[in-house]
Structure 1
Amino acid sequence: MYQHLLVPLDGSSNANEALKEAISLAKGWDAKLLLLHVTDINQFGGYGRGLAYTEVIASMRENATELMDQAKKQATAAGVTVTTASLEGAPKQQITDVANDDENGIDLIVIGKSGTNAFSRLVVGSTTTYVVQHAQPNVLVVNDIAED
């Protein structure tokens, strides 16, 4: 059915559930996964470029690397072929750019219903909503598992 799945990851529980779903789908379809993390360095706006800013960005990049390493291990352990990409910028735009780039061959995006940045959702809208509205491939939105 689908052969190239894009899974945007931000460390949220919704993204983790999307990853689990994508791994299951990829196994069943013998599909490949592209795991994507976008470090939103734009969230700091014009707050300067001093030492504190540099340290925060370095920490964000380190966290992204750890997140992607763990996700790749999870997919690989399940026998799924996986590649990763880490970008910087506005997540909603980067996700749709990767999804819409014909060279990536993405035919399904598996994304969590909501991510980690509640403030951004309130001010500029949900990344998931944007992706659903602007991505060319089909989009599967995965809900987080409700806790008892």
Structure 2
Amino acid sequence: MMDSHYHTILVAVDGSKTADLAFDKAVQFAKIDHAKLVITHVIDIQTFANVRANQRFIDQNVTEYAQELLERYEKQAHEAGLDAVELVIETGSPKTLIPKVIAPRVGAGLIVCGAVGMNAMERIMIGSVSENIARYAKCDIYIVRPKTLN
């Protein structure tokens, strides 16, 4: 296991199966290090940029979804025995917000994220979120891969 102890661990979630794996791993690390777990979800504006139908309805629903998603993860973290859990919802590009804004702000020593989450076309177009987090983060990164990819 790791020598260094992390005081704050940031995990990025989006509701995908890979995010669930990343969350479970982050909980394990937080328990080992008695660290604070910060669970973040970034509402990616690009995803909704082409949906103009009823913008206010979409914004409200997306925010509610993010809130419910994080509260579900928070409940799981508490059930797993973690006391210090913080939730962060931001709007923008997860690729830059997670490593450049959220991680420094919460004082993350480790960022845990899933390797996939987007479809192949989106990855080709914009690069994966985990690649960008690894590129920009000033702290350690742990990227969780689904077992099926190995």
Q: Secondary structure at the match of 1:92?
A: helix
1:108–1:15 CA distance, 2 compared to 1 (3 A): same
The match for 1:40 among 36, 41, 44 is 44
Partner of residue 86, structure 1: 89
Aligned letter for 1:14? T
- The aligned runs of 1:1-148 (5 Å cut-off) are 1-45=5-49, 48=52, 52-80=54-82, 81-96=84-99, 97-99=101-103, 101=104, 103-116=105-118, 118-146=120-148
Query: Gaps (5+ residues) in structure 1?
Result: none
Provide the rounded CA distance (Å) in 2 between the counterparts of 1:117 and 1:60.
20
Deviation at 1:116, TM superposition (A): 4.0
Does the 8 Å CA contact 1:38/1:90 hold for their aligned counterparts? yes
Query: Structure 1 residues 125 and 116 mapped into 2: Cα distance closer, same or farther (>3 Å)?
Result: closer
| Count of aligned pairs between the two proteins | 143
CA displacement at 1:58 relative to structure 2: 1.5
Give the Cα separation in 2 of the matches to 1:57 and 1:118. Answer: 26
Pairwise CA distance, 1:45: 3.2
Determine the C-alpha separation between the residues in 2 that align with 1:45 and 1:68. 23
Equivalent residues of 1:5, 1:32 under 8 A apart: yes
Normalized against structure 2, the TM-score is what? 0.87
Deviation at 1:118, TM superposition (A): 4.8
Moved over 6 A (4+): none
Fraction of identical pairs, as percent: 33
* Structure 2 residues without counterparts, runs of 5 or longer: none
Deviation at 1:94, TM superposition (A): 1.1
What amino acid sits opposite 1:71 in the alignment? Y
Superposition deviation, residue 115 in structure 1: 1.6
